[in-house]
Chain A
Amino acid sequence: MKLTRRHTLMMAFGSALAAVMPFRAFAAVEDNIAAFTGGAAVGSEGITLIAPEIAENGNTVPIEVNAPGAEAIIVFAAGNPTPSVATFNFGPMAASQSAATRIRLAGTQDVVAIARMPDGSFVQASQEVKVTIGGCGG
């Protein structure tokens, strides 16, 4: 096949498209959030997400979520192959609606926490975590 100007342009376009592909993962996280909230509007007050700005090792990134009065908190990692991370359901014996754990992050990305309040509303917090070494064994 002769390499014409048109082919070169198309190839350039194709590689640009391939570079954009990873961002499709964000669409997956949108779907997951919609599944949790049922499409309801999401506020931003009353929830804190503590995560490091820079994580050297994506295999164990310490995070902490705190949403006073929440029924449940769900955590997503927007850039992971599977965005869901964990769901915390708080029972009557929980002293505060907070929890800390360690998660895996495939690369630099946003970590999102969404809390469901007893009145049916939702609040969200997110933070970007820069990851030096990814944690998915890729």
Chain B
Amino acid sequence: MADNVTPRVRVPRDATAGEEITIKTLISHPMESGQRKDGDGNVIPRSIINRFTCTFNGETVIDVTLEPAISTNPYFEFQAIVPASGTFEFTWYDDDGDVYTDSKDITVG
């Protein structure tokens, strides 16, 4: 239903051990709230991303429950600790069952 859903994530390429880094994520998605009506007065059915998670080497950084009040193209910014080199995994769960994922590697030098 939601077309052209593209996740975009910004994570630094490298960090020092134990550093706190800021992660920014954006995913293009209409986030149809279920409140709007089309030209004929029919309610446009709800179609949103209802959950977003970020993990680092399998451990949770943040787990967000989204409601229809989140804007189109949901944007999140948060901080994570990087104790060692590893991979950040990002997952978005759509109302229609689709799951969108992205991952970023980070190197501790």
Contact = CB atoms under 8 A, between A and B. Distances in A.
A87 interface: yes
Contacts, number: 107
A34 interface: no
Given A59-B71, A60-B71, A98-B79, A87 B64 contact: yes
Interface stretch (B3-11, B32-40, B90-98): B32-40
Given A59-B72, A101-B74, A137-B37, A93 B67 contact: no
Size class of B's contact patch?
Answer: 20 to 34
Classify the secondary structure of B's interface with A: strand
A101 B72 CA distance: 11
Interface string A75-112: 00100111011111111111110111111110000000
Contacts of A54: none
Given A59-B71, A96-B79, A81 B20 contact: no
Given A86-B64, A104-B33, A95 B79 contact: yes
A94 B23 CA distance: 11
A95 B80 contact: yes
A84 to B, nearest CB: 4
Determine chain A's interface SS by DSSP, over half rule.
strand
Contacts of B77: 64, 99-101
Given A88-B62, A93-B55, A96-B79, 13 more contacts: A59-B72, A86-B67, A89-B63, A90-B61, A93-B81, A98-B79, A99-B76, A100-B75, A102-B71, A103-B69, A136-B35, A137-B33, A137-B37
Interface of B: 20-21, 33, 35-37, 55-56, 59-72, 74-81
Interface of A: 59-61, 64, 77, 80-82, 84-96, 98-105, 135-138
15 contacts: A85-B70, A89-B65, A91-B59, A91-B63, A92-B59, A93-B55, A94-B60, A94-B80, A95-B80, A102-B71, A103-B70, A103-B71, A104-B68, A104-B69, A105-B69
